[in-house]
Amino acid sequence: MKIFSWYGILRQVIVNTKTDKAFRGVIWKKTKDCIVLKNAEWLSVDGAKKIDGELIIFISEIDFIQAV
């Protein structure tokens, strides 16, 4: 699956997961199994909540990615 073929590292995105959670952040690193977001926020109906540290999301859990 080539979902990152046009995404560059250090690009701000919104990642929507298969569990209906959404995260905004900068793609810091990508591997064949996961992506790492820096400056990540969890987007919910209550607003954005800052996430400390780095957020690792497994590619198998990603529903779609929006470039912002």
- The helix/strand/coil state of 53 is coil
pLDDT at 41 over 60: yes
Query: How high does pLDDT run on average in the chain?
Result: 88
pLDDT at 53 over 90: yes
Q: Which residue has the tokens 């529903």?
A: 63
Residue 17's DSSP bridge partners are 62
Whether residue 41 contacts residue 25, with contact meaning beta carbons closer than 8 Å, is answered with yes
10: pLDDT confidence band, cut at 50, 70 and 90? confident
Q: Quick check: 61 and 39 in contact, CB under 8 A?
A: no
